[in-house]
Amino acid sequence: MDKNLYSRLQTKIILLTLGVSFAPLLLLGGILYRQFAAMYVEKIREQIHFRAESRADAVDLFLAERTAILGAIADTHSLAEMANEETLASSLAIMNARAGAFVDLGVIDQHGTQLAYVGPYDLRGKNYFDQPWFGQVMSRGVHISDVYLGFRRLPHFIIAVRRQERQRNWVLRATIDPEIFGRIVQRGQIGKTGDAFLVNREGILQTQPRHSGNILEPSPVKPALFGKQTMVVDGGLLGRPGVLFAGTWLKSAEWLLVVSGDVEEDMAQLFSARTLQTAIIVAGMLAIVLTTVLTTRTLVGQMIRAETRLREMDAQLIQADKLAALGKMAAGVAHEINNPLAVILQKTGWMRDLLEEEDLRKSPNFKEFRDAVLKVEEHVERARKVVHDMLGYARRMEPRAEAIEVNRIIDQTVDMLENYARNNSIDIQTDLDPELPRTTGDGAQLQQVILNLVNNAIDAIGQNGTIAIRSECAGSEIRISVADDGPGIPEHLQRKVFDPFFTTKSTGKGTGLGLWISYTIIEKMGGKMTLQSKPGDGTTFTITLPVVPPPPQ
């Protein structure tokens, strides 16, 4: 049996099955995850995009409100009224009551000189002509400045409106509370790492960001990357991989509102989904491996058993074929030998006849001649016996059909041999099934077979040993076994023991026909005869006979 072939086959089947099952599973898992991840990232981008836009709207609204109320105050008062610090103070109070977040309020004439001021700083009389915002408001009418330190040396920004009054321009300027403004922007900071801040065209921070940098310092965000519409930019471009930046230019000021979000943080949910998916796939793979290995093992085991059975059947078939052919040949050979033997026997008879005559009796070699003739006749007789045994088998073509009791035949046979066995210190034990059914066959022939087997067992043991004879009913079959504890039969001889003329006994002691005849007798009865032997452990011959009910009388 080529065990190697089967283990290779088993490995092949397992690998193939696993390959075919795993490939689509892993492919499906991978593709699904990628698609899902892509969708998720897209969703995160959309969210951050939306956050930037809505935050920009809120900031725009804040600034538009402040600008509008500042404009309204300027429009409803003359320079003379506003230059009065009491009026100015009450205006600031109204503005803070209506909108809030105004820190101070100042009135500046067209030369940049602050005519009146209310607020916490002492800025009265300061000249703003050289300040960049002053030029802007004078030319454009309304201006929201970048954050700067100014005279007060604190980061702040201002909203300024210009009023034209009888060929004279004056400017109403208010400072916005950087704290309050900063909070509105910072409301866009979502999650543990999300950030929201403003930068101007040069990338200078206009509000305090959560990470990386301080107000009025350059930010890593490059405003040139962001177009007119709200845009989402990968942090990789800004030296911050894994972070998304969404930027929206404000409508009311030259500021870019930036909202950033850590993709990793937002993807935590996706990662837990991935862990779950991986766990399910791994569990599935384990189940597949287990099932495949078990199924394949069972399958290959069955194949091995089937092949073993097939081989056994083949061996039996070959054995039967061989023995049938040998039987035919032996019968033919027997006949061809008988004719020359007949001639030899007549010739020796004639020689014996002649030796009876007077003159030969006196010959000095008379005794030698007579002995030689007798020896020839003795050996012709030996040859004749062998041939007759074989022809005897041929004559047994049609065994008798009678009801036979296997147990009784065994008992009779044991009786016949018991004395002989005892003389050789051999114990014959029988274990007979009392429920054994009767069958049909030739009892004398079956007895001959059992006699032959027990005789062989005695010869095999020689001295001191045990022979165990068992009979049992196995389904619709009767099983008879004859086991000895003799030396056993070497494996290479086991296939030959049923061959005609095969014998291990010394020349003249056995013809080698006994087992062959036994085999053919059992075969003709529709049974089987097998042997099991292990050198050193003895030999067991097993006869299986079908239970054939006796024909009705």
Q: Does 342 bind other proteins (CB under 8 A)?
A: yes
Length of the chain in terms of residues written: 553
Per-residue binder mask for other proteins (CB under 8 A), 473-512, x = binder: ----------------------------------------
Name the residue nearer to other proteins (CB basis): 184 or 326.
Answer: 326
Q: Which residues on adjacent β-strands are paired with residue 164?
A: 169
Q: Does 376 bind other proteins (CB under 8 A)?
A: no
Cβ neighbours around 213 below 10 Å, total: 17
Q: Does 379 bind other proteins (CB under 8 A)?
A: no
Name the residue nearer to other proteins (CB basis): 97 or 397.
Answer: 397
Can you read off the two tokens belonging to residue 100?
């809030």
Among 334, 450, 451, 548, binds other proteins (CB under 8 A): 334
Q: Does 384 bind other proteins (CB under 8 A)?
A: yes
Q: Nearest Cα to 355, choosing from 343, 369, 374?
A: 369
Name the residue nearer to other proteins (CB basis): 347 or 422.
Answer: 347
Can you read off the two tokens belonging to residue 220?
């890593």
Cβ neighbours around 164 below 10 Å, total: 10
CA dist list (Å): 542 to 239, 468, 481:
89, 12, 4
Q: Does 322 bind other proteins (CB under 8 A)?
A: no
Cβ neighbours around 332 below 10 Å, total: 10
Q: Does 378 bind other proteins (CB under 8 A)?
A: no
Per-residue binder mask for other proteins (CB under 8 A), 273-312, x = binder: ----------------------------------------
Q: Shortest distance, CB of residue 377 to other proteins, whole angstroms?
A: 8
Q: Does 339 bind other proteins (CB under 8 A)?
A: yes
Which stretch in 108-116, 140-148, 315-323, 337-345 sits in contact with other proteins by CB under 8 A?
337-345
Name the residue nearer to other proteins (CB basis): 289 or 331.
Answer: 331
Q: Does 386 bind other proteins (CB under 8 A)?
A: no
Which stretch in 128-136, 251-259, 368-376, 383-391 sits in contact with other proteins by CB under 8 A?
383-391
Question: Angle at CA 95, nearest 5°, toward 91 and 99?
Answer: 175
Handedness of CA 189, 194, 200, 201 (dihedral sign): negative
The residue count for binding other proteins (CB under 8 A) is 24
What is the DSSP code (8-state) at residue 228? S
Among 350, 382, 405, 526, binds other proteins (CB under 8 A): 350
Q: Does 347 bind other proteins (CB under 8 A)?
A: yes
Half-sphere exposure of 361 (CA within 13 A, CB side): 4
- The order of strands in the sheet holding 255-262 is 195-200, 255-262, 243-249, 231-234
DSSP string, 323-358: HHHHHHHHHHHHHHHHHHHHHHHHHHHHHHHHHTSH
Q: Which residues bind other proteins (CB under 8 A)?
A: 331, 334-336, 338-339, 341-347, 349-350, 353, 380, 384, 388, 391, 394-395, 397-398
